[in-house]
Amino acid sequence: MIKKILIANRGEIAVRIVRACAEMGIRSVAIHSDADRYALHVKRADESYNVGSDPLAGYLNARQLVNLAVETGCDALHPGYGFLSENAELARVCSERGIRFIGPSAEVISRMGDKTEARRSMIAAGVPVTPGTEDNLKDLQDALSEAERVGYPVMLKATSGGGGRGIRRCNSKEELEQAWPRVISEATKAFGSADVFLEKCIVNPKHIEAQILADSFGNTVHLFERDCSIQRRNQKLIEIAPSPQLTPEQRAYIGDLAVRAAQAVGYENAGTVEFLLADNEVYFMEMNTRVQVEHTITEQITGIDIVREQIRIASGLPLSVKQEDIEHRGFAIQFRINAEDPKNDFLPSFGKITRYYAPGGPGVRVDTAIYTGYTIPPYYDSMCLKLIVWANNWEDAMDRGYRALDDMHLHGVKTTEVYYQQILKNPDFRSGVFDTSFVDTHPELTNYSTKNKPEALALAIAGAIAAYAGL
């Protein structure tokens, strides 16, 4: 069994992994830049080490991270999500140094991280993919030729892309010509590769993804699906499990496809297979070879601790559950509370959190690394917490979400909480029938008055908590 884990990440996912380690009797080692020296994951881990003054370099140096794991007596490394979580070199260096990488093998990461290679693997496995190129595009002329063959609109994508970056929709030849240098530039800067490919654009699909777990004994299961259709510029905002839009037959079909996809590439550990659903047709989009930001809602509806299962699998243990034993109950919704101003085109709002009061009550979970007095640095993602709610049915889950958002008090930075309340009140959302065009087709949702949550109320709540804690 793994005894000590270096967590090669920061923020709320690092805190999440620390908690799993604590429950399993495993020592946790945190890393931090100078900008993160006061971060919560640093305070919560058993040990912590500075990886440099640069806000990003230390989190992105695979060999330095693995060397630190060895020096501190760790026998495993958990990459979390983002940073090097889908970096084959990190997994490869871990293997070379005798450190267990809590994720799939370097070979599988490379295979699924290369979007064109992933498409070829899925085609061979009989998993439906969107029409497009099976090889990387040679140049702009090649892209124009393929677009004519596939038919506009098309999606120009970075082969090594992810997280909504390195991707552009092109509705015409002119737009493709304009997008080509931008995507090449963005792909090179973000992923270190100028390789791009092209797919038919599935207009206004539903974005459905399936969570899978696979061990080294040949056992692969799915934990049902999540609906990630509420997104802006390919960035997810609200996620739901299970999808309120699927029939039982569609749910079973997508789950089976996800298992087939994982087995086809010899997948091991936790992963997510993402699909597009349009006109009752399902298309493979990509596979994320890591734990997802939204793994929380799958945990809420199944009762399965995904991070714990990740650690068990990396320890060489079999899955703790079989497919026939996995059930889902109720609905869970996750709100990514971002430090952004929806009324100002979602402009980031970094700064000091002057007061923070977390929501609570039945069916409410908060995953975060913020606290009163913490300064959100401008170098990282703008998400400051994940608010997760669960209830027995869709209506109750939405109502609980609205109440929990109202219950939360976060001062000092602008956030997306009130914007999400507008979504929860919208009849199209409440109907449970929506697609990836929802945000773009509902611009009126940003026309709200600033919620009246006086600083005095937050101060009173904080004072009451402090007084109680001192008893």
pLDDT bin (cut points 50, 70, 90) of residue 241 is very high
Class (C level, CATH) for 4-102? alpha beta
370 CB-near residues (< 8 Å, 6+ apart): 40, 353, 356, 376, 384, 385, 410
Q: Distance from CA of residue 406 to its chain's centroid?
A: 24
211 CB-near residues (< 8 Å, 6+ apart): 222, 223, 224, 225, 226, 258, 270, 271, 272, 292, 295, 298, 306
Which runs of E-coded beta strand occur in 69-131?
Answer: 76-78, 100-101
Report domain extents, the chain. Answer: 4-102, 131-200, 206-446
Closest C-alpha to 335, from 396, 413, 280, 415: 415
Question: Using one digit for the tens of pLDDT, what is the confidence trace for 149-204?
Answer: 999 999 999 988 766 778 999 999 999 999 999 999 988 888 888 999 999 999 99
Question: Using one digit for the tens of pLDDT, what is the confidence trace for 390-446?
Answer: 999 999 999 999 999 999 999 999 999 999 999 999 999 999 999 999 999 999 999
Instruction: Check residue 454 and give its pLDDT.
Output: 52
- Residues 303, 30: Cα–Cα separation, whole Å: 27
Q: Is the pLDDT of residue 372 over 80?
A: yes
Helices (H), 376-426: 394-407, 417-425
Instruction: Check residue 456 and give its pLDDT.
Output: 47
Closest C-alpha to 372, from 341, 409, 407: 409
Class (C level, CATH) for 131-200? alpha beta
DSSP letters of 278-322? Answer: ETTEEEEEEEE-S--TTHHHHHHHH---HHHHHHHHHTTPPPS--
Choose between 192 and 453: higher pLDDT: 192
419's torsion region: left (phi>0), alpha (psi -120 to 50) or beta?
A: alpha
Question: Using one digit for the tens of pLDDT, what is the confidence trace for 119-138?
Answer: 999 999 999 999 999 889 99
Helices (H), 168-244: 173-191
Which of 92, 111, 290, 365 is the catalytic position? 290
SS3 174: helix
Question: Using one digit for the tens of pLDDT, what is the confidence trace for 416-430?
Answer: 999 999 999 999 999
Preceding amide of 342 cis, omega within 30: no
- Would you call 251 a catalytic residue per the annotation? no
- Residues 254, 277: Cα–Cα separation, whole Å: 10
Q: Is the pLDDT of residue 457 over 80?
A: no
Q: To 10 degrees, the CA torsion angle through 41, 46, 51, 56?
A: -20
Q: Is the pLDDT of residue 385 over 60?
A: yes
Question: Using one digit for the tens of pLDDT, what is the confidence trace for 30-50?
Answer: 999 999 999 999 999 999 999
CATH code for the part of the protein at 206-446: 3.30.470.20
Same fold, 4-102 and 131-200: no
- Which segment of 94-98, 115-119, 145-149, 434-438 scores lowest on mean pLDDT? 115-119
